[in-house]
């Protein structure tokens, strides 16, 4: 029981950051466009970021296709860390980069462990072929 409680709490805490930033991006459309423009990234990326963050956050929190979502969010953290956080000699940017790498580690751990018993995956027996192959190995 304590293992499942910790797995749920871990998923919720990891998801909370993405839900918070995703809703923040929705609330401040102009600020994210300015931020993206600073790095010469095309404008179509903003909706992709919002969907990635909000969708991934909701799915992780619910425990729905958890391993795939965790891998996706790990990739998000690595990409944003290297593309956005390592451009300056700013100590705060380096701290943000290390935060992204720590989150990546957490997501990889979730990808390896799965959602646990307290998840929609378990409730409705939802597993992709990829996950079945991972569990068989």
Annotated domain spans of the chain: 2-136
Q: For residues 46 and 36, is the Cβ–Cβ distance under 8 A?
A: yes
pLDDT in tens, 36-71: 665 666 777 778 888 999 999 999 999 999 999 999
- Quick one: tokens of 125? 């027996």
pLDDT in tens, 71-119: 999 999 999 898 888 776 888 889 999 999 999 999 999 999 999 999 9
- Quick one: tokens of 78? 């690595």
- What pLDDT, on a 0 to 100 scale, did the predictor assign at position 65? 94
CA atoms within 13 A on the CB side of 36: 17
pTM for this prediction: 0.85
Confidence of residue 131 (pLDDT cuts 50, 70, 90): low
């Amino acid at each position: 029981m304590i293992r499942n409680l910790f797995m749920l709490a871990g998923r919720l805490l990891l998801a909370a950051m993405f839900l918070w930033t995703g809703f923040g991006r929705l609330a401040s459309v102009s600020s994210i466009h300015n931020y993206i423009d600073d790095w010469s990234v095309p404008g179509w990326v903003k909706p992709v970021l919002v969907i990635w963050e909000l969708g991934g956050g909701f799915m992780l929190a619910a425990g729905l296709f958890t391993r795939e979502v965790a891998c996706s969010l790990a990739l998000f953290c690595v990409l944003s860390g290297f593309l956005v956080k390592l451009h300056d000699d700013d100590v705060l940017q380096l701290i943000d980069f290390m935060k992204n790498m720590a989150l990546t580690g957490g997501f990889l751990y979730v990808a390896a462990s799965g959602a646990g018993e307290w998840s929609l995956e378990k409730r409705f027996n939802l597993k992709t072929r990829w996950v079945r192959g991972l569990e068989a190995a």
